[in-house]
Amino acid sequence: MKLGSLEVDSPYFLAPMAGYTDKPFRYICKRYKAGLTVSELVSVNAIYYKNSKTDELTQKSDIEKPFLIQLFGSDPDIFLYAAQAVEDRCDCIDINAGCPVTKVVKAFAGSYLLKDKKRLFAIIDKLKKHIKKPVSIKLRKGFDGESINDTAFYKELQERGIDFIVIHPRLRSQFFKGEIDYGHIAAVKEVLKIDVVVNGGIDSAETLEKVKNITGDGFFMIGQAAIEKPYIFEDLLNGKDIKRDLVFIKNLIREHFLLTVEYYGEKTAVKNFRKFFHRYIKGVNNAKIFKNMMNECRDSECVIKLIDNLANT
């Protein structure tokens, strides 16, 4: 099936999440049939000033196709510079117009762009004029109650050549909590010709059905639920939630950890992997004890032993 001009195998996508959607984790989600993957948000200024970390953030694995690189920033010229610098590494450039974090908003980027639409349009125009790859945008339904995106705004995105739009229908002021207004997306889908991807609160095949009842069929993006169960993409495709046993979970944790070691090296991997380990073992017997033990681990051997012992609870 086609998302804009991109060929996707599945309509269920992995959302970008800073600190989580690195190359090893995206690989795991892709193996469980995520239809599309996105880098975490990457600062255009960091690319412009040649910060070495941006190379790590924009690398993809061979199985990631299509792969989007998401950029955030405020200056249209620097935005274009960054997009051109990474264009060859991805299939589409995604503009972040949803990040609610104060530091980002204060730098006139992320969800701030929903308040400064002139600046947002200037960024889009630069990219659409000079970038060969498709350009998408991920946004919220507005910055605050005073600035909810209206139909004219969405039509203008379409007219300026945006290839598809991902909507997380909360306000910036809600951060990640509170009501998710799927009706907002249903209304946008009514008036646009380009594809609209639904994001927010989808954590199971059961929830997906409820969301589809409001938004209709189409494309969906999953964030936090994938951290706990990266196999959710397979469940969504099959239309049913399958409880995996501990042997499956242990194999999954081990595979993910080893990929993390391969990518970052042992010391960084052990540290970076804690947050994933904590999520994976939610609901496992003595989870709290295992979490504390994981925090004490300093090398791979310790982590692997811990994963093996999960069966012995």
Ligand X SMILES: Cc1cc2nc3c(=O)[nH]c(=O)nc-3n(C[C@H](O)[C@H](O)[C@H](O)COP(=O)(O)O)c2cc1C
Which residues does 243 contact at the CB level (< 8 Å), separation at least 6? Answer: none
Contact 98, 167 (CB under 8 A): no
Query: Site for ligand X (CB under 6 A): which residue of 4, 9, 17, 87?
Result: 17
Residue 39 structure tokens: 């880098």
Nearer to ligand X, 76 or 100 (CB): 100
Residue 85 structure tokens: 């610098």
- Kind and range of the H or E element at 171? strand 164-171
Give least dist CB 305 to ligand X, A: 28
Other residues' Cβ atoms within 10 Å of the Cβ of residue 185: 26
Give least dist CB 302 to ligand X, A: 26
Residue 192 structure tokens: 């646009």
Nearer to ligand X, 147 or 224 (CB): 224
Give least dist CB 38 to ligand X, A: 7
Nearer to ligand X, 42 or 270 (CB): 42
Question: Which 20-79 residues touch ligand X, going by CB under 6 A?
Answer: 20, 40-41, 70
Other residues' Cβ atoms within 10 Å of the Cβ of residue 189: 18
Query: Could you tell me which residues are beta bridge partners of residue 168?
Result: 140
In the residue annotation, 99 being an active-site residue is answered as yes
Spatial separation of the C-alpha atoms in residues 145 and 246, rounded to whole Å:
45
Contact 197, 218 (CB under 8 A): yes
Query: Site for ligand X (CB under 6 A): which residue of 133, 141, 168, 250?
Result: 168
Nearer to ligand X, 15 or 78 (CB): 15
Q: Interacting stretch for ligand X, rule CB under 6 A, among 3-11, 123-131, 222-230, 295-303? A: 222-230
CA atoms within 13 A on the CB side of 79: 30
Closest residue to ligand X, judged by C-beta, is: 223
Query: Site for ligand X (CB under 6 A): which residue of 24, 142, 200, 230?
Result: 200
Question: Which 76-115 residues touch ligand X, going by CB under 6 A?
Answer: 96, 98-99
Query: Site for ligand X (CB under 6 A): which residue of 157, 222, 269, 297?
Result: 222
Residue span 273-312 as binding mask against ligand X, x where in contact by CB under 6 A, dash where not: ----------------------------------------
Nearer to ligand X, 39 or 189 (CB): 39
Question: Which 237-266 residues touch ligand X, going by CB under 6 A?
Answer: none
Contact 5, 134 (CB under 8 A): yes
- For 135, phi and psi rounded to 5 degrees? -125, 125
Query: Site for ligand X (CB under 6 A): which residue of 9, 18, 48, 254?
Result: 18
Give least dist CB 18 to ligand X, A: 4
Residue 6 structure tokens: 């991109």
Query: Which residue out of 29, 90, 92, 99 is catalytically annotated?
Result: 99
CA-wise closest residue to 72 among 114, 29, 11, 26: 114
| The dihedral sign for the CA sequence 120, 123, 126, 132 | negative
Contact residues for ligand X, defined by CB under 6 A: 15-20, 40-41, 70, 96, 98-99, 138, 168, 176, 199-202, 222-225
Q: Which residues are catalytic?
A: 99
